[in-house]
Copies of this chain bind each other. A is one copy, B any other.
Amino acid sequence: MRRNSYFSQVAKNYLFSEVAKRKEAFFHENPHSTLISLSIGDTTEPLTPTICEGLTKAAALLGTREGYTGYGAEKGNVQLRTRISQEIYQGKICPDAIFISDGAKCDIGRLTLLFGPNVRIAVEDPSYPAYIDTAIIHRGYENTILPLPCTPENDFFPDLTTAASADILYICSPNNPTGKTYSAKELEHLVAYAKAHKQFIIFDSAYAFYVQDGRPRSIYEIPGSKEVAIEIGSFSKMAGFTGIRLGWMVVPSELCYEDGHTVQSDWVRLITTFYNGASSLAQQGGIAALSPTGLEEITAQIRFYKENASLLRQACLERGWQTYGGIHSPYLWIKTTHNTSWEAFDDLLRNAHILTTPGIGFGKSGEGFLRLSSFASREVIHEAVQRIKVTSCATFPSGKVHMTKNRARVM
């Protein structure tokens, strides 16, 4: 049995596995320090009361003859799809075009199989590693991946003329990792370009709830986009479902291949073959999250994480750093003075005991940047702000690390 040779083309470890390894090594060397993690974007606040009640009630029901259910509906719970239609899309996307999933990452994985071999994929550079890694494992890097540099110089909006040969454009807004949130005008340009070049857009809206100034939360706010775009949504960062696992994908009935065949019918065939639906419990949690009280509670939780981002952003700006994002996004994107972003990562880890994510992990154009996540308790954010103010690491030129605990742990 031969190995799938494409595995040798992806980085040996998934980005966050490598971050975790370096964290462990740090703990081994520094058993008495207190580490602050602003690395992986993992929610920290408890589930809200309404969601929690929805989940416990749903779990109890499964123990009763009347309430027990087995396999769910192919596209997911219809009540959940209806709520997503109404609450996320104001009824402008019908429940039939909404497919419930166990999260954005898993949908990205399944998408690679929708398009078959010989597909050319353009991705923002930097971007969420799963876009590229899933494509490489499926098809290899050569003739598949087309990186589109997104830097401060182009205001993190890619030069689409370099994407002319692509079949698919992966776009994430608010962007992970840069925090960039595309304007309606930019998205109109994107849709028009994709249409003219017969391309599909995969629009990752996992952080859409963090947009609160009227900029589009969905690609479908752009007229004509249903004919070119698939949208991926997630409850992970919206409602703290990173461990519960729940998301959705919109595949409009208007989206067709060049032979006129609808993408939606292939997507149904694909998910009924490769997948068996999100946990029925997770789906009940999603229904609770999109109830009137659920929506109020998750909106407050997102406001909390946004305040965290704002505090971090202010601290970085006060230190004179080039800081991007952190406004309509839980992520800050920071230019460092180190030669490589892994060097900056290690420096901040050793000298401020802050765990971040090196920009290079998101692509070549991420070199020289660090991503800071604001998913943390307020106590941790205050401590992080304090450390940023006084750290002696090379990027932060003066001060001393303030240690609050006498044993190694992650705050």
Q: A105 CA to B110 CA in the complex, in Å? A: 13
Q: Are B243 and A280 in contact (CB under 8 A)?
A: yes
Whether A318 sits at the interface, judged by CB under 8 Å, is: no
Q: Are B62 and A59 in contact (CB under 8 A)?
A: no
Which residues on the B side are within 8 Å of A199 (C-beta)? 1
A284 CB to nearest chain B CB (Å): 10
| Minimal Cβ-Cβ distance residue in B for A197 | B1
Which residues on the B side are within 8 Å of A1 (C-beta)? 115, 167-168, 198-200, 257-258
Which residues on the B side are within 8 Å of A240 (C-beta)? 68, 70
Q: Are B42 and A68 in contact (CB under 8 A)?
A: no
| Minimal Cβ-Cβ distance residue in B for A281 | B281
Q: A57 CA to B270 CA in the complex, in Å? A: 35
Which residues on the B side are within 8 Å of A14 (C-beta)? 269, 272-273
Which residues on the B side are within 8 Å of A279 (C-beta)? 102, 243-245, 278-279, 281-282
Using C-beta atoms within 8 Å of the partner chain, give the interface range for chain A: 35 or more
Whether A92 sits at the interface, judged by CB under 8 Å, is: no
Q: Are B116 and A4 in contact (CB under 8 A)?
A: yes
Whether A78 sits at the interface, judged by CB under 8 Å, is: no
Whether A28 sits at the interface, judged by CB under 8 Å, is: no
Please encode chain A, from 105 to 149, with 1 for each CB lying within 8 Å of some chain B CB and 0 for all others. Answer: 110111011111100000000000110011001100000000000
**Copy number in this complex?**
2
Q: Given contacts A3-B257, A115-B4, is CB(A106)–CB(B245) below 8 Å? A: no
Q: Are A274 and B105 in contact (CB under 8 A)?
A: yes
Q: Are A269 and B7 in contact (CB under 8 A)?
A: yes
Please encode chain A, from 243 to 256, with 1 for each CB lying within 8 Å of some chain B CB and 0 for all others. Answer: 11100000000000
Q: Are A106 and B46 in contact (CB under 8 A)?
A: no
* Among A68, A103, A243: residue with most chain B CB under 10 A: A243
Whether A196 sits at the interface, judged by CB under 8 Å, is: no
Whether A49 sits at the interface, judged by CB under 8 Å, is: yes
Q: Are A276 and B105 in contact (CB under 8 A)?
A: yes
Q: Are A40 and B71 in contact (CB under 8 A)?
A: yes
Whether A223 sits at the interface, judged by CB under 8 Å, is: no
Q: Given contacts A134-B274, A266-B4, is CB(A47)–CB(B62) below 8 Å? A: yes
Q: Are A242 and B70 in contact (CB under 8 A)?
A: yes
| Minimal Cβ-Cβ distance residue in B for A280 | B243
| Minimal Cβ-Cβ distance residue in B for A194 | B1
Whether A69 sits at the interface, judged by CB under 8 Å, is: yes
Q: Are B105 and A275 in contact (CB under 8 A)?
A: yes
* Among A13, A42, A62, A69: residue with most chain B CB under 10 A: A62
Q: Are A103 and B62 in contact (CB under 8 A)?
A: no
Whether A5 sits at the interface, judged by CB under 8 Å, is: yes
Q: A56 CA to B244 CA in the complex, in Å? A: 14
Q: Given contacts A56-B60, A63-B52, A65-B46, is CB(A3)–CB(B261) below 8 Å? A: yes
Q: Can you give 7 A-B contacts (C-beta < 8 A)? A: A2-B259, A3-B266, A48-B63, A52-B59, A70-B242, A106-B275, A109-B273
Q: A residues bordering B, Cβ < 8 Å?
A: 1-7, 10, 12-14, 16-17, 40, 42-49, 51-52, 55-56, 58-60, 62-65, 67-72, 74, 102-103, 105-106, 108-110, 112-117, 129-130, 133-134, 137-138, 167-168, 198-200, 240, 242-245, 257-259, 261, 266, 268-270, 272-282
Given contacts A102-B245, A244-B279, 5 further A-B contacts (CB under 8 A): A52-B59, A106-B275, A113-B138, A243-B279, A281-B282
Q: Top 10 nearest A-B pairs by Cβ distance?
A: A4-B116, A52-B63, A109-B274, A55-B59, A243-B280, A42-B70, A14-B272, A3-B257, A70-B242, A279-B279
